[in-house]
Amino acid sequence: MQSHGLLLPLRSPWSSPIPLPLRHRTSFPTKPLCLAASSSFTVSDGELESRGFRVRRSPGGLDVAALNEVFARVGFPRRDPERLRRALGHAGEAVVWIEELGGGKPVAFARATGDGVFNAVVWDVVVDPSLQGTGLGKAVMERLVADLRATGVSNIALYAEPRVVGFYRLLGFAADPDGVRGMVLSRKNFQKQRKTR
């Protein structure tokens, strides 16, 4: 499951005064932020554990090399490990991943960045191809969105490839809600713009 192409959530009245920490980190916390009640999820943490998986809600303990392997298996480019650690640090506690019990390797992952008050953008939603279609993508997304909502963030955007737009629509995301269009200044567009000057 890859995230490319902008989708925005439908409007929602959820809010809470709990701020999302967005400071730069050089080390990750070991205790996960768990704001959302597990009863609101399609698949509970207990059911995931009975299937051999554990939900993690912070980048603490995440094997960056193993995550890079999952990225490569879904077609994402491999990331420089140090830059990936920095990116995870910027996500603060807005990280949800699922590991295999016993192995500790990530098999599903999602993170978000934002201002911690109004807006967030979801990044890097991946599920190991051998486990796609088993509900792990939905599990990480439900928990990430619930945790963001619990901190008061009400505007959550993401990018999605056309083949996975339906997946995100089932989670309440909509393309161009109320006529709002997402725009991106990508490296490719920036280079094209420089050539035309």
Catalytic residues: 168
**Cβ–Cβ < 8 Å for 78, 72:** yes
Handedness of CA 117, 180, 76, 146 (dihedral sign): positive
CA distance 136 to 126: 9
Look at residues 67, 72, 73, 104 and name the one whose alpha carbon lies nearest to residue 87: 67
Look at residues 30, 56, 18 and name the one whose alpha carbon lies nearest to residue 139: 56
CA distance 41 to 146: 9
Q: Which amino acid is at 66?
A: A
